[in-house]
Amino acid sequence: MASLRTVGLVKTYGNVYALRDVSLDVAEGELVAVLGPSGSGKSTFVRAVAGFVKVDSGAIHLGDRDVTRVPPEKRNTAMVFQNYALWPHMTVAQNIAYGLRIRRWTEDAIRRKVAWALELVDLVGLENRLPSQLSGGQQQRVALARALVVDPDVLLLDEPLSNLDAKIRYRIRFEIKKLQKQLKLTTIYITHDQEEALSIADKVAILDRGQLLQYGAPQEVYARPANAFVAEFIGASTVVRVPVRRDAQGSFIDLGGARIPAPAKAEGEEAMVIFRADEMELEPEQGAGAGGTGAGATSAGVPGAAGTAAAGVDVPAAAGAATPDAGGTDGPGGDGTGFYVFRGTVVESMYLGARVRYEVRVGDQATFFVDSQRAIPPGQPVSLRIDREKLYVF
């Protein structure tokens, strides 16, 4: 078992950057999920660590060894391939024992280690089967066992679950995590499924077009995405582009009447407002208030029922990021820092089973996607509320 450190990995194919200065530090025994869409370079990354891709520049360190120029057969990494790559002419036992035979273990030792591995992945009794006689899940476990027996410095999993049914996928991901923790294996886990990554990883690395966008614990990546791409990739489904304005107090954007602090940009340049559909609360408005159409902002504080603030008023925060407007109440926001409130009209809905996703028109600029468990008819004016921490502006 060893730590893994990559420094400034660069790989180009023609004019295309598959890896653009990727630097990553993985401590011994850590499971790092490398997350990204297809084409992001995550496969290239793991193949570079394994040695099948020769990087143009940068270094790869396994423990205290610099393995950048070492051929793949001498690196002592172990990879589980997306298609498992079980040799069809060898039995399960022969597949698993392959690495040990190369390392010239004695027959006895091999037999014992193979038995140990079979028990670990719960495949005892299937030693003499051929891969073609196994189910997809079983094949995957053989591939895993084959990698585990050689006690690699790093375990590399290239989208190990993408060829399995959804039900099995959910179960096996935790079995892999259990094994990893038990054997204290330094592991790189490639996936495009953000839920999978967040649920089992110690740290998550997000790649897009060869670049490392964020690297941190799952909670941090989820709650504090470093940029718009990460926010969108990890679950956000609403992206609204709003031009940035400046005044004496700084840059802000005007969304549905609310003043939302924005990163410093040139006047008129666009910022992206991003949030997750299940983090925005939805309440149908009780008839009264600004007419049937209910869209648009009225800056005058109109007292609504049940403590809902008027459209687009932002509520005072602990640290004065923006000036409080008149009116509005400090609702019980996530960590007490307050909410933003918006008013809008439901346009469409999509039934997702456990919840309904509503398309809500806010102001004349924005379409919000908001989840709710209630049934709300189209045309219904609604008020929306979101924790200030959960509204990301980039």
Partner 1 sequence: MESPTQVQPRAGIAGRRGIAVRLGLGDADYGGLLLVLPALLVLLLLYVTPLVLSIYRSFVTEWGELTTEFYRKAFDFYFEDMLYTVGITTVVLVCVFAVSVTIASYLRFVDWPLLNFLYRIPLFIPFLIVGHAMRVFLAPHGTMNLLLARVLGVEELPGLAFHWTGLVLSYVWKQFPFATLLTLGAFKSINDSYIEAAQNLGAGRVRVVFQVLLPMARPTVLVALVLTYVTTMGSLTIPLLVGPARPVMLPVDMAFRVTYFNDWGTANALGVVSYLLVIVVAYYYLRHLLKES
Partner 2 sequence: MNAHALNLARIAHMTLRIAGVTVLGFFIFGPLASVAIWSVALQWYWPHALPQEVGLRYWVDAFSGRSSVWSALTTSLWVAVIVVACALALSVPAGYAFARFRIPLGRLLLVLFLMPKAFPQLPIFINLAEVFYRYNLAGTVPGVILVHLIASLVYAVWITTATFRSVPVELEEAAINLGDSRLKAFFRITLPLALPGIIASSIFVFLHSLDEFTGTFLVGAPYVQTLPVLMYTASMGYNMQMASVIAILLTIPAVVFMAILERFLRAEYIGRLGV
User: Which residues are near partner 2 by CB under 8 A?
Assistant: 69-71, 74
Q: How far apart are CA 144 and CA 134, in angstroms?
A: 14
CA dihedral 196, 201, 206, 211 (to 10 degrees): -130
Helix axes 107-120, 136-148, angle to 10 degrees: 130
**CB closer to partner 1, 85 vs 183:** 85
Q: How far is the CB of 368 from partner 2 (least distance, A)?
A: 46
* Of residues 7 and 70, the one with the C-beta less far from partner 2: 70
Q: Which residue has the tokens 């028990």?
A: 119
In this structure, are residues 282 and 384 in contact, taking their beta carbons and an 8 Å threshold? yes
Nearer residue to partner 1 within complex by CB, 88 or 353: 88
- Neighbouring residues of 31: CB distance < 8 A, sequence distance ≥ 6: 177, 180, 181, 185, 187, 189, 200, 201, 202, 203
Q: Of 98, 105, 170, 222, which lies in the binding site for partner 1, with binding defined by CB under 8 A?
A: 98
Size of the site for partner 1 (CB under 8 A): 23
Report the residue number, 98 or 170, with the smaller CB distance to partner 1.
Answer: 98
| Chain centre to alpha carbon of residue 233 | 6
Closest CB 66 distance from partner 2, rounded Å: 10
Q: E strand or H helix at 33, and its extent?
A: strand 31-35
Work out how close the CB of 347 gets to partner 1 at its nearest, in angstroms, rounded to a whole number. Answer: 39
- Give min distance, CB of 91 to partner 2, in A: 23
Residue of the chain from 23, 66, 69, 83 that contacts partner 1 (CB under 8 A):
83
Length of the chain: 394
In the list partner 1, partner 2, none, the entry touching 102 (Cβ below 5 to 8 angstroms by class) is partner 1
Q: Closest distance between partner 1 and the C-beta of residue 34, in Å?
A: 18
- CA atoms of 47 and 152, how far apart (whole Å): 15
Task: Give which of partner 2, partner 1, none residue 70 binds (C-beta under 5 to 8 Å, depending on kind).
Answer: partner 2
- C-beta of 78 vs 161, nearer to partner 1: 78
Residue 69 C-beta: closest distance to partner 2, Å = 6
Residue 350: which H helix or E strand, with range? strand 339-351
Report strand pairing: 381-387 vs 339-351: antiparallel
> Among residue numbers 12 through 71, which ones bind partner 1 (CB under 8 A)?
50-52, 71
- Is 81 a residue that touches partner 1 (CB under 8 A)? yes
C-beta of 74 vs 104, nearer to partner 2: 74
Torsion of CA 43, 46, 50, 51, to 10 degrees: 60
Contact residues for partner 1, defined by CB under 8 A: 50-52, 71-74, 77-79, 81-83, 85, 87-89, 98-99, 102-103, 146, 150
